[in-house]
Amino acid sequence: MKTLHDEGYISIYDNYILDSEIKNTEEKYYFIFKERKLLLIDNQVPIIKDLKDIGLKDDDIKNCLHIGEFYSKDCFAVELVEDFDCEKYIESNENHEFLDLYFVFDIDEESYLIAGRAIQIIDWENNHQYCGRCGAKTVTSDVENAKVCPECGFTSFTRICPAIITTIIKKDYDDLDAEGKPTNKVLMAKHSYHEFIRYTLIAGFLEAGESIEEAVKREVKEEVGIEVEDIEYFGSQSWPFPNSLMIGCICKYKSGEIKVDENEILKAKWFKKEEIEKPPSEISIFARLIKNFKENY
Ligand SMILES: [Zn+2]
């Protein structure tokens, strides 16, 4: 099985240790969030001694959670309180900005990976304060990354929701290239929910009980009405919007005509390589699937 990391892509563990003890290092990494916006100073995650050094007071902080060690420094996920005034803070602090997590990976892929973990740990902290079974207040486990209920023993781990994203490839015998061979085309669709409406690959969450292959077949059938076969694993990527794991696949067109529901999917069509718009980021798994199609088909 081939994975993205075999191709020289960055791994979260290149310079990050997940379960390290707090070492009280002189400098620390602080991944500071107001809602889902990350604080950057000079386009970087702050490396500082203390939050006070960048003008943050105790009252500004809702959560400060140790999440491991990054480049041999203690690493924290910080959540600011709801009424923290970002605009006022930015006005009085030059080169500081709060950037939506969606855009962080264009700055620094490694920081994006840790930031994605940090926001998911903050969400988990907030969403599992009480036991989902009996309602008692939970405590953080000493032995694993879990919230445990002292009353009934129910354990809650960080929740990760897997989703598939797939290239669907078809040989078009009605569209021959200069050598008389059928052109390879990829199916792309316009989703109604996407903020920046553009053509993208078919994607969707896994349902309880199904395999990755079954999810690919079901999603494709539901969204564009066709049958696919020869499903292969391509690679995966953590996708913290809010807590997914994107599982990239490649499959082949088997049968059927494109038919969209016009509810979730507005339009879908087959694209030649040269017709595909450049993806907005180079490191998303979407971009990597497109790059793979262009280079290998
Ligand atoms: Zn309980």
Residues 99, 207, single domain; the answer is no
With respect to residue 3, please indicate whether it lies within any of the assigned structural domains.
no
130 CA to middle of ligand 1, Å?
Answer: 8
Residue 169's pLDDT is 98
Contact 152, 204 (CB under 8 A): no
Residue 229: partners with Cβ closer than 8 Å, 6 or more residues away: 251, 252, 254
Residues 82, 168, single domain; the answer is no
Residue 32's pLDDT is 98
Contact 289, 167 (CB under 8 A): yes
Query: Whose CA is closest to 129, among 63, 34, 68, 76?
Result: 63
Residues 111, 228, single domain; the answer is no
State the DSSP H helix or E strand holding residue 185, giving kind and residue range, or none if neither.
strand 182-191
Contact 251, 232 (CB under 8 A): yes
Residues 172, 288, single domain; the answer is yes
Residues 149, 178, single domain; the answer is no
Residues 76, 107, single domain; the answer is yes
Decide which of 136, 158, 180 is a domain's last residue.
Answer: 158
| Global pTM exceeds 0.85 | yes
Residues 119, 136, single domain; the answer is no
Give residue 90's domain range.
11-127
Question: Exposed e or buried b for every residue in 177-203, given b needs 16+ CB within 10 A?
Answer: eeeeeebbbbbbbebeeeeeeebbbbb
Residues 133, 211, single domain; the answer is no
Residue 119: CB atoms within 10 Å: 24
Residues 179, 283, single domain; the answer is yes
CATH code of 98's domain? 3.90.79.20
With respect to residue 4, please indicate whether it lies within any of the assigned structural domains.
no
Q: Could you read off the pLDDT tens digit of each residue along the chain, which spans 297 residues?
A: 445 555 667 889 999 999 889 999 999 999 999 999 999 999 999 999 999 999 999 999 999 999 999 999 999 999 999 999 999 999 999 999 999 988 876 678 899 999 999 999 999 999 999 999 999 999 999 888 899 999 999 999 999 999 999 999 999 999 998 899 999 999 999 987 765 678 999 999 999 999 999 999 999 999 999 999 999 999 999 999 999 999 999 999 999 999 997 888 889 999 999 999 888 777 889 999 999 999 999
Residues 120, 138, single domain; the answer is no
121 CA to middle of ligand 1, Å?
Answer: 20
154 CA to middle of ligand 1, Å?
Answer: 5
236 CA to middle of ligand 1, Å?
Answer: 33
CA 249 to chain centre: 16
Q: Where are the alpha helices (DSSP H) in 203-284?
A: 212-224
Query: Whose CA is closest to 112, among 260, 284, 297?
Result: 284
